[in-house]
Amino acid sequence: MFLHCSSILFLLCFALQSFYLANSQSFIGVNYGQVADNLPPPSATAKLLQSTIIEKVRLYGADPAIIIALANTGISIVIGTTNGDIPALASDPNFAVQWVNSNVLAYYPASKIILITVGNEVMTSGDQNLMGQLLPAMQNIQNAINGASLGGKIKVSTVHAMSVLAQSEPPSSGSFNSSFGDTMRSLLQFLQANGSPFMINPYPFFAYQSDPRAETLAFCLFQPNAGRVDSGTGINYMNMFDAQVDAVRSALNAMGFKDIEIVVAETGWPYKGDANEVGPSVDNARAYNGNLINHLKSMVGTPLMPGKSVDTYLFALYDEDLKPGAGSERSFGLFNPNLSMTYDVGLLKSNQTPATPAPITPETPVSPSTPAIPLTPVTPATPVIPTTPVTPPAGVYGIAISCKQQHSRLLILVIMVAFTLFGLPVRGDDILL
Ligand SMILES: *[C@@H]1O[C@H](CO)[C@@H](O)[C@H](O)[C@H]1NC(C)=O
Ligand SMILES: *[C@@H]1O[C@H](CO)[C@@H](O)[C@H](O)[C@H]1NC(C)=O
């Protein structure tokens, strides 16, 4: 009896992948909205984020205090231009250069800015002028980024509401509203040419609100349900998130843009709302966000994009108490202003040591040296993956590095071929991929 070399490699890769995933979820981000008057100081937020598995933060603007607070934290930052900036960005290349100088170059690379969103939900704003100016504005920002030799390092995109799709059910029939015509095609050509992602805001919460049946709730919350068969492909979808993301995939594919990556710029579930709102509750919010995070961590992907997790920015870090509209609009926060969790969805790092809560200072004095604010003691919701040190023998060190990547299966095959070439006993049928 002996274990084939390939089996050992596979197990080693699996162990290493688990090890790296235990504390690093590069695909989990969070939205940091600021329509509020009770937010903690940016420095306290930076500390809070470092105690979580969140590795990316999306700002709606480019608040210098936050960008500076996130410097040298390892946390990646998405910043945005406002919709109001778009006309000037579109018509004046110098304005775009200035925008990049003062909002990016002033802080980069200490502050790890990875992406600039030009406007928010412009294509569904109903403002034809603004829609026409969106791509020229993106192009001028891209030119400014290229001019600073940051092309490819900092991507340029824009964020869309799900309603850019005219159809999303079944997922394989996903298609963009044809009234966009060439505007959408040109936008997608820009994204493809620059390797930029298509950013979208899928909200199973709203899907449930428009179809408030028990089986729809289970489908939206990743809870046991019969699934929904896509009549176009025969795929049985088990949750709304996958169905919505794959509808976007289908819409992009239908226009011939199969290699544009999708980024979920916002998704979330409110933990409370007005009496007449169906859906908001702590239990539902915990189920949606907790199950979504586990779904992403599992790396299972969606039926149309298996084996990898779509970059997902949860909505939201804090409640935004000054937002207008229904009560739920002000109740998406994962953390309270005093930095305690609203409810536990397993975002804290598994090695987080409980600390004693301390009094919290309110927002107003943004002194650069805000004292560290310890978190309330918590038990991680997700089982802790054992982190026994996995030290690979020197000879397979290259494999250890490969295993960190998402396409490890393909890489294992490549490694197997290499081993075969060197005459080692590797048989492909030893591995069930
Ligand atoms: C497509 O967009 C137009 C213009 O905004 C809108 O009137 C129409 O309802 C949309 N169609 C669908 C199917 O969403
Ligand atoms: C933090 O705020 C939440 C929500 O207001 C409250 O329930 C909790 O008791 C507070 N925790 C501390 C330590 O002050």
For 35-101, give the DSSP string. --S-PPPHHHHHHHHHTBS--EEEESS--HHHHHHTTTSS-EEEEEE-GGGHHHHHH-HHHHHHHHI
CB 357 near ligand 2, within 6 Å: yes
The CA distance from 117 to 372, in Å, is: 31
Q: What is the pLDDT of residues 338-364, one digit of tens each?
A: 999 999 999 999 855 444 444 444 433
Ligand nearest to the CA of 340: 2
Contact 207, 244 (CB under 8 A): yes
Helix spans in 171-281 (H):
182-194, 204-209, 214-220, 240-254
pLDDT of residue 111: 98
* Ligand 1 atom at minimum distance from 178 CA: 1
Catalytic residue numbers? 121, 266
pLDDT of residue 385: 35
Under 8 Å CB-to-CB from 149, ≥6 apart: which residues?
none
Distance of CA 96 to the CA centre of its chain: 26
* Ligand 2 atom at minimum distance from 338 CA: 1
CA 115 / ligand 1 centre spacing (Å): 29
CB 340 near ligand 2, within 6 Å: yes
pLDDT of residue 277: 98
CA 339 / ligand 2 centre spacing (Å): 8
pTM: 0.80
Task: Report DSSP state, residue 313.
Answer: E
Q: Helices H, strands E: what count in the chain?
A: 13, 14
CB 376 near ligand 2, within 6 Å: yes
* Ligand 2 atom at minimum distance from 357 CA: 13
pLDDT of residue 17: 52
Ligand nearest to the CA of 184: 1
For ligand 1, residues with CB inside 6 Å are 166, 177, 179
pLDDT of residue 95: 98
CATH no. of 26-388: 3.20.20.80
Contact 78, 117 (CB under 8 A): yes
CA 164 / ligand 1 centre spacing (Å): 8
**Look-up of token digits 């997902």:** 312
Contact 79, 159 (CB under 8 A): no
Ligand nearest to the CA of 128: 1
CA 271 / ligand 1 centre spacing (Å): 31
CA 181 / ligand 1 centre spacing (Å): 12
Contact 150, 195 (CB under 8 A): no
For ligand 1, atom 6, the nearest C-alpha belongs to: 179
pLDDT of residue 352: 54
Mutate to test the pocket of ligand 2, among 318, 319, 321, 336 (most ligand atoms within 8 A of CB): 336
The low-confidence residues of the chain, meaning pLDDT below 50, are 1-3, 13, 15-16, 18-23, 353-410, 412-433
